[in-house]
Amino acid sequence: MAKWGEGDDRWKVQELGTTGRNVNGWHWEESDVLPWAKRRLSELFPSTLVLLSGDGGLEVTADGKVSVSGEAVINRRKGKVIPAYELSVSFGWTGRSGSGEAAFGGTCKVPYVSEENHDEDPEVQFTVKEGGGEAEKVRAALVEAGRVVVWGVLRGFVRELRAGGPEGDGEGEEEKEKEKEKRGGRDGSNAQQQTAGAVAGSITSTTSITSTTAKRKLEIAETYYASSRDIYECFTDANKVRAYTASAATIEPVVGGRLSLFGGSIEGRFTELVPCERIVMDWRFSSWADGVMSTVVVVLEEKEKGSVTLRLEHAGVPEEDRFGNHDVLKVTEMGWRSQILTRMKQVFGYGM
C-alpha cells in the first residue's frame, strides 16, 4: 500500500488546461467574429476597387474607408458551423472625369447583410454629396453597374463568413443545404440547371464538355463580327473588360501579368500572349479550394475580314468547389457564356 501522499499517478486527476475544455467540441461554442468581419470588409473594399469605368476616362473607386456595424457570431459544435450575423456596411466613393475638370463623391451603403438573405443580393444604396446633374448621372450609373461590383465582393465575404470566418475549416449551413440538394430536397439545383439550359439555348455556338475523375474541361466556339484585335483586347484591355463585365477588373497584359475580374471573384495570370491570335491564362474562382488553378486557352481565327472565330478550352476545372458543390463545370460554362462571351457581343455590338 502506498504511503499517505504518494498515491499512484495514474489515479490522480491532472490539470489539463485548455485541452480539457470542451473535448472534441462536444458543447456549443460561440465566437464573436465582428472584429474579423470589419477587418475583412476593409480589405475587400480598398481604395483601389473600381466601381465604375466609363467613356472619356471616367473612373469611380471606393475610398477605402469602410464602416461596419451590427453583430456577427459563429456557433460551433463537433465541426458544425452555424453563423448568425446582421451587418450594415458603408464606405465612400470618389470619381473624376477623364479631363479632371469634374470631381464627384458620395457614399455607398448596404444596410442589411444577414443570414436571412445570404442567398440573395442585398440592397445597395448610392448617394452623391455634390456636383449637380453630372454627379447625379454618375450616381445613376453606379446604381446599375457599381452595385454589381459590390454584390460580387459581398458574395465572397458571405461565403467566407458562412464557412467559419477567421477559422474557415468547419461545416456550416451550406453543407446541410448541399445534402438536401443531393437528396433532391431543394428546388434551387433544378432551377440552376434550367437557367443554364436557357442560357445555352440562347447562344449560337458549340460546346464540348469532357469530365473524368482526373480531369475536367470544357470547349466553346463563338463567332464574332469583329477583328481579331477587337476580341484580343476584350481579354487584355482593362477598360474593355470593365465595360462588358460592369465590374472591377485588373488586367496586366504581359506574360506573368496578373488578371482579376468581377471584383476578385476570378483571378489568375497571363502565361502566353500572341497578339490577335492566342491567349493562355492561369485561371481560378475564389470559390475554389485554395491552390486549385485551371488553364484557359483562347485561340482567335480571322479567316475573312470582319469575322472571327473564338475557340476556348478551359481545362483543369475541379470536381467540386471549397463548399462541396459538384456543379462546378456547369457553373463555369454558364459563367463563360452569360457573363463574358455573350456580354462581349451585346456591349460592343460584335454579334447578335
Q: What is the pLDDT of residues 26-53, one digit of tens each?
A: 556 888 989 999 999 998 888 888 888 7
CATH class of 187-348: alpha beta
This prediction has a pTM of: 0.46
Could you give the residue ranges of the DSSP H alpha helices within 64-169?
Answer: 132-141, 147-162
Distance of CA 324 to the CA centre of its chain: 16
Delimiting residues of CATH 3.30.530.20 domain(s) in the chain: 187-348
Could you give the residue ranges of the DSSP H alpha helices within the chain?
Answer: 34-44, 132-141, 147-162, 173-182, 188-201, 228-236, 238-245, 328-335, 342-348
Predicted confidence band at 19 (pLDDT cuts at 50, 70, 90)? low
Distance of CA 275 to the CA centre of its chain: 28
Please give the grid coordinates belonging to residue 278: 492566342
The domain 23-175 is placed in CATH, from the list 3.40.50.2300, 3.15.10.20, 3.40.50.9100, 3.40.50.1860, at 3.15.10.20
Lowest mean pLDDT: which of 68-77, 94-103, 231-240? 94-103
pLDDT value at position 270?
Answer: 95
Delimiting residues of CATH 3.15.10.20 domain(s) in the chain: 23-175
Q: What is the pLDDT of residues 113-145, one digit of tens each?
A: 998 887 788 899 999 887 667 778 888 888 877
Q: Give the mean pLDDT of the chain.
A: 78
Q: Which whole number is the average pLDDT over 246-262?
A: 91
Predicted confidence band at 56 (pLDDT cuts at 50, 70, 90)? low
Does position 181 have pLDDT exceeding 90, yes or no?
Answer: no
